Amino acid sequence: MCGGCRNRGRCRLGLGEITIIGDAAHAPVRCAPHFQAGPNVAHGGWTAAMFDDIIGRSLTQRGLRTVTGNLTVDFFNPVPVGEAMIVEVVTESRAGRRWTMQAMLRLERDPSPLARAIGVWVERREGHFERHEAAMRDYRAR
């Protein structure tokens, strides 16, 4: 679970446990009603956040300490609210610290993709968060 939900013990995005199989992964997801945009349709930002979290956590579960470098989402069909869906993640390639990842979102019982994400995750250098904290301290002191 991400830092925002860990203390609550519940993923507010509605994302389930990730199963890792080699360099691929899958997870059950369900868009909660508070992320509704159009009638019974998920906000596109939910779909992007869901992909970001699932791909990032799948890498974390593989022992890789990464952050999202970039993320592109293709929206093929409206994503329903409250419906059981599956996200499938594959590793496209690795070059140095850069991992190119792809993921698909589909209904639990239908193979057609609703949305696809492709992006680059970058392995963090040691002290990543400490440098960020220090930069913010400097900024606030200005």
Q: Which residues bind ligand CO8 (CB under 6 A)?
A: 2, 52-53, 56-57, 60, 67-70, 95-98, 120, 122, 124-125
User: At 33, which amino acid appears?
Assistant: P
Give residue number: closest CB to ligand CO8. Answer: 56
Q: Least distance to ligand CO8 from the beta carbon of 131, Å?
A: 9
Q: Least distance to ligand CO8 from the beta carbon of 109, Å?
A: 28
| Residues contacting residue 115 through CB under 8 Å, at least 6 positions apart | 47, 51, 73, 74, 75, 76, 77, 79, 104, 105
CB of 70 or CB of 93, closer to ligand CO8: 70
CB of 23 or CB of 83, closer to ligand CO8: 23
Distance of alpha carbon 131 from alpha carbon 135, whole angstroms:
6
CB of 72 or CB of 77, closer to ligand CO8: 72
Q: Least distance to ligand CO8 from the beta carbon of 25, Å?
A: 13
Q: Least distance to ligand CO8 from the beta carbon of 142, Å?
A: 21
Contact present, 119 and 69 (Cβ < 8 Å)? yes
CB of 4 or CB of 82, closer to ligand CO8: 4
